[in-house]
Amino acid sequence: MKRLFAMALILVMTVSVLAGCGSTSTEKSEEATKELTVWLPPIGENDKPVWEPILKEFEEKNNVKINLEIIPWEGYPEKYATAIAAGEGPDVGYMYAEMFPQFIKMGAVEDLTNYLTEKDMENYIYIDDCKMLGGIYGLAIEAANPAVLYYNKDILAELGEEPPKTWEDFRRIAKKATKDTDGDGKIDQWGFSQGWGANFFGDLNWNWYGFLWQAGGELYNDDLKTVRFNDEAGLETAQFLYDLKFKDKVIPDNAMAQNNKEMLQTTFGPGKSAFTIWLSSAAHEILDKSFPDLNYGFITSLENKDMGTFASVDQLTLMSATEDKELSFKLMQHMLSADSMTKFHKYHPRAPISKDEPYQGDPQLKEMIENDKGIYRPLVVAPHGVEVYDYLWKQLQRMMVGEVEPKEALDEAAKYANDLLAEDQ
């Protein structure tokens, strides 16, 4: 009897193990036939309740159930990759520039060129930024939040300086601003609180791209088969940043341990630096809220040979694996409609993404958003972006910690990038 019981127990355990390894396809087939899944990252602080009424309208009009999942930024592309590989990805997704090449190459996202009407092409403000690798693989949902150079008005006034326009102005003011204000022999007011300690290459957005474009440089050559960030302009950019750190000593010592957001909060916000660089939305979301006494201003871009600063154009994507492409695209259009985005931007104020949507963003930024389009721009979507930028970030970190010279850092990153790109040819 005991043996029989033991055998039965083993059988149950074995079946459980096998069941655990199996799929849940049978459960799914019993559910409603029309069901769409949308994956979004957290754009604001609490997006789900804002999106739910918008999506409910679509559900009622189209007799469809929509599952909205907010995917945390931590491990965001990893979640997409693993889910798509397992056939469990969303019907409508959200991607940023660096993510696109790999998913386009795998055929995971749909080219929207044939879905878009002339009216759509006219209406979506950032449609040209969505053209990539021979197609239109997404529609902008989050744009016009450029990296800006914040300056402390009080520090500049004390130094008798105006907001900088050129690299020379910036460097001069940063040098003058770096000083020991309490006479204890330690620097406690810095010129430029720029963070180089991020463990992710995302901080290239504000630390590198803008300065590179201002120097007249680019990341990739036009054919996207080789990189050019180690050319003369790239070298001038790297040397400029290197000199700020080691020659002028205007960047705080703990720059290698903090990211730019942390620098904004720990150094610029409390009034301990003349300049910092980060997203324009931080004006309203961080500085005004956490540092109400800070007297600050900002400029979109410094000028060297050119002007330029980074502004991402993140996009909604139609996933190729969706069973009903027409319905999923219709959902994308609904989410991006002036009506829906007006409702969304009411809670998370941002610039409009279509011409028929009113501006509801920070009033301080309105002029910049309307007049500086062209100065702020996204990355060109290029093959192996993730690997190239990750390696470049690590080499620039090595440079900013004094391990290597600017040329060595850039040449090493360029060699790595060109070798990778050559594998595809």
Partner 1 sequence: MEDIILKKNEELKKSRVRTFNKRKILKKSTPYTYILPIGILLLSFYVIPIIMSIYFSFTKYNIMTPAKFVGFKNYLNLAQDKMFMASLKNTIIYTVGVVPLQTSIALLMAVWITKREKSRLNELVKGAMFVPVISSMILIGIIWRIFLNGELSPLNMIFTYVGLNTPNWIGDTKLALPTLMGISIWKNVGYFMVIYISALMDIPKSYYESARVDGANKLHEFFYITVPLLKPTTIMVVFLGCIWSLQTFDLVYTLTGGGPGVSTMTMVLHIYNLVFKQFRAGYAMAVANVLFLLIAIISIFQRKLLQRDKSIY
Calculate the CA dihedral of residues 169, 374, 206, 272 and round it to 10 degrees: 40
Within its chain, how far is the Cα of 329 from the centroid? 24
Between 196 and 298, name the residue whose CB sits nearer to partner 1: 196
Helix (H, G, I), strand (E, B) or coil at 96: coil
- Write the burial class of residue 120 (CB in 10 Å: 0-12 exposed, 13-18 middle, 19+ buried): middle
- By CB under 8 A, residue 422 contacts partner 1: no
- By CB under 8 A, residue 6 contacts partner 1: yes
Identify the DSSP state of 403.
S
> What's the rounded Cα separation, in Å, for the pair 259 and 194?
8
> What's the rounded Cα separation, in Å, for the pair 96 and 351?
17
Per-residue binder mask for partner 1 (CB under 8 A), 253-272, x = binder: xxxxxx---x---x------
In angstroms, what is the minimal distance from the CB of 87 to partner 1?
10
Between 252 and 308, name the residue whose CB sits nearer to partner 1: 252
Identify the DSSP state of 402.
T
Q: Which of 127, 400, 423, 168 is nearest to 302 (CA)?
A: 168
- By CB under 8 A, residue 23 contacts partner 1: no
Between 230 and 395, name the residue whose CB sits nearer to partner 1: 395
The pairing of strands 296-299 and 376-377 is: unpaired
Per-residue binder mask for partner 1 (CB under 8 A), 333-372, x = binder: ----------------------------------------
Between 8 and 121, name the residue whose CB sits nearer to partner 1: 8
Q: Which positions from 198 through 227 interact with partner 1, judged by CB under 8 A?
A: 198-200
- By CB under 8 A, residue 7 contacts partner 1: yes
304 touches 167 (CB < 8 A) = yes
- By CB under 8 A, residue 106 contacts partner 1: yes
> What's the rounded Cα separation, in Å, for the pair 392 and 381?
16
Backbone angles phi, psi at 144, to 5 degrees: 55, 45
CB-side exposure of 366: number of CA atoms within 13 Å?
8
In angstroms, what is the minimal distance from the CB of 151 to partner 1?
22
> What's the rounded Cα separation, in Å, for the pair 82 and 78?
6
Give alpha helix (H) positions in 227-380: 232-246, 260-263, 282, 288-290, 325-336, 338-347, 363-371
In angstroms, what is the minimal distance from the CB of 358 to partner 1?
38
- By CB under 8 A, residue 387 contacts partner 1: yes
- By CB under 8 A, residue 137 contacts partner 1: no
Question: Which of 1, 4, 18, 32: binder of partner 1 (CB under 8 A)?
Answer: 18
Question: Which of 123, 312, 340, 395: binder of partner 1 (CB under 8 A)?
Answer: 395
233 touches 212 (CB < 8 A) = yes
Which strands sit side by side in the sheet containing 147-152, from one edge to the other? 190-193, 273-279, 147-152, 296-299
Helix (H, G, I), strand (E, B) or coil at 146: coil
Of 119-127, 275-283, 306-314, 384-392: span binding partner 1 (CB under 8 A): 384-392
Of 152-160, 170-178, 231-239, 386-394: span binding partner 1 (CB under 8 A): 386-394
In angstroms, what is the minimal distance from the CB of 119 to partner 1?
34
In angstroms, what is the minimal distance from the CB of 150 to partner 1?
19
Between 82 and 166, name the residue whose CB sits nearer to partner 1: 82
Between 210 and 385, name the residue whose CB sits nearer to partner 1: 385
Of 32-40, 109-117, 308-316, 382-390: span binding partner 1 (CB under 8 A): 382-390
Q: What is the binding site for partner 1 (CB under 8 A)?
A: 3, 6-7, 10, 13-14, 17-18, 21, 75, 77-78, 81-82, 84-85, 102, 106-108, 196-200, 253-258, 262, 266, 386-387, 390-391, 394-395, 397-398, 400-401, 403, 412
